[in-house]
Chain A
Amino acid sequence: MRDDVTERTGSEVPEPVTETETNGPDESTQAPSPEETAWSGPGAWVVPALVAILGLVAVWGALTIEAPPNATRPGPGAFPGVVGVLLLITAVCMTVVNLRGRGSESGVSPLAWFEGRPVLIVLAGLVAHIALLEILGWLLAGALLFWIVAYAFGARAHLRDAIVALSISAAVQVGFSFGLGLNLPGGFLEVLL
């Protein structure tokens, strides 16, 4: 069954030319980064850095929050302070784990599977949707979002995709306005009609 799964028709996703078949079929279908896998390479520092930054922000907040004069102690800064310090400690522990594990790195980058392009396209779609929602209205902005995300996931039948996108967006708008009384923005269409 595993082999069937990996035999791709190739019609839905543009296959990158640099296809590595060395991994074997199992690895390509498994979740690439299970929670037990150790981090290695430059990517290993992403999470520790994120945790450290959050910790710094929390500690900074704890020190600068202005408590109203009548506030009981512990004031509003106590909890952020504790969480911030714990975040920093966690970041330090992660750093230690990273430094220790450095010797045993295998040659393959654990993030080799990560494809940035579709992610960026989805994000671009979200940004476009957010920017245009109140100008174009839900119908068009929603359809645009659907279309762009479908494109990012490899849909290439542009006309059919557009029709599907428009009908789903329209169905949502109609369903929500009539069924739940929720008004989605009509945008300029509202003015025209």
Chain B
Amino acid sequence: MDTLLNLVDGLSAAMSPQNLMWAFLGVLLGTAVGVLPGMGSAMAVALLLPVTFRLDPTGAFILFAGVYYGGMFGGATTSILLNTPGQASSIATTYEGHKMALKGRAAQALGTAVIGSFVASILGTLIVALFAPVMVAFALNFGPGEYFALTVFSFVAVAAVVSGSVLRGLASLLIGLAIGMVGIDGQSGAARFDFGSSSLLDGIDIVIVTVGLLALGEVLYIAARGRSAPDFAAIRTGRPWLGRRDLRRSWKPWLRGTALGGAFGPIPGSGAEIPTFLSLGLERKLAERRARRKGEENEFGEGAIEGVAGPEAANNSSAAGTMVPLLGLGLPTSATAAIMLAAFQQYGLQPGPVLFERNADLVWTLLASLLIGSVLLLVINLPFAPLWAKLLKLPKPYLYAGITLFSVLAVYAINTSVIHLVMLTAVALLGLVMRTFGVPVAPALIGVVLGPIAETEFRRALAASSGDPTILVGSGISITLYALVLLVAVVPLIARALRRRTARAVDAQEPAARS
């Protein structure tokens, strides 16, 4: 009951015209960025980070939350219309969504995606509001040893799960940890890896790393792909629209997708891909069963609306789900969440139990603004989805030139330092190499953000026990977490095998349409 009261309080705070404007802007930007291939909400949040320093924390996080939700939906638009997923979380939507578009049912596909996203965001946010305080109560028992176990947990999860190859995920994570070590060591004050440069003493700013790896790295990568880069041919679309029959077919997949996304969102490293593919697989299995038992037509492989409704709900509710560990524990489970954590730190706020105590109003306003973001998502996208697709008609040279310009600007704005731009170029080159050789970028980002936290907690724990390492496994919580490390390393591997099987099955069913 307290939770609901708090949420209502937050809602009234978030309804200020200014905050509403930030939420609106966030959803708008997020959708725009989500539409563009290769650019996800993580990149949008990274580019916005320096700009938002001038805002108050509440405004900034409302903006970010809007971007996060908007990005999830934007990806669906291009998946459906162009068969070009804007980000990994919308790959599952392409299978049935694009086939619906080819059959002239783009409007219905978009409609079920928008409304599914809306339903999932609302339910997902309510779940967050209910569970975050539980998580906080739990987290109050955490000491440095437990926090260290928690970071190990997310490192293992991220490295093992995000990438196609465990080895590459691990390499990416370690690269991130290495980048995070540059600068003055917070515990002892010793200078590390400064190579005699005074600018490196401050460390490599998270904005430089994120903008370099995500935005500028992507520009270089697209440049390198030259002719083989995706081209966004024009496609026609109508206004999103759902008839009664489609609605009847959609609502159950929405709820199932929401449940799947909400369950996987808080698990480090699982991201939005696993629940979307699980949802797609589930809906297809159910359709097969319906066809067998009741003789209903199984449309999977030819554009089944269930195959859009489920995954789209799943990715939005997983976006909400990542907020639970982020706010409750200070633990980012996706690249976007990692950047949001960095943003919290820039304001001198440390997410976790303390945040709920000291800045409760901020937290509840943020949660309430997620609700507002969902509503705005519906308002902006239901009528304007076709307009978003037009964004792809921007001449490609100008699009990428613009992204380059904004990347440089975002980094220069941190400290108006040209040396930061040199670092940016170096990091972007690293990003190009990683992309070229299929090394995932997200683990590196999480490494940069969580690495220093892991190190601090580790050394604090040992300092507290005067060097006795048993403190690291000295409590039930730590032991449970290390047990979970093992579990988390295994479960998503199974899920990925499932996902591959799903993908293969989809390919196998429709070989003609996909090759």
Contacts and interface: CB of A to CB of B under 8 A. Distances in A.
Interface string B163-203: 11101101100110110010001011111110000000000
A56 to B, nearest CB: 11
B226 A118 contact: yes
Contact of A33 (B191, B404, B437): B437
Contacts of B189: 68
Contact of A80 (B51, B181, B219, B425): B181
Contacts of A105: none
Interface bin, chain B: 35 or more
A115 B223 contact: yes
A90 B163 contact: no
Contact of B231 (A8, A114, A122): A8
Interface of A: prevailing SS: helix
Given A58-B181, A90-B174, A180 B405 contact: no
B230 A5 contact: yes
Interface string A1-38: 11011111000110110000000101011001111110
Interface string B229-243: 011010100000000
A50 B164 contact: no
Contacts of B440: 35
B459 to A, nearest CB: 6
Contacts of A114: 224-225, 436
A2 B231 CA distance: 10
A127 B405 contact: no
B467 interface: yes
Contacts of A8: 227, 231
Secondary structure of the B side of the interface? helix
B104 interface: no
Contacts of A113: 224-226, 228
B474 interface: no
B54 A150 contact: no
Interface in A42-70: 43, 46-47, 50-51, 54, 57-58, 61, 65-68
B471 interface: no
A168 B406 CA distance: 10
B418 A134 contact: yes
Contacts of B220: 119, 122-123
B181 A83 contact: yes
A123 B54 CA distance: 30
B405 A54 contact: no
B165 A118 contact: no
A126 B219 CA distance: 12
Would you list the 5 A-B pairs with minimal beta carbon distance, nearest first?
A35-B164, A155-B397, A115-B226, A153-B397, A71-B188
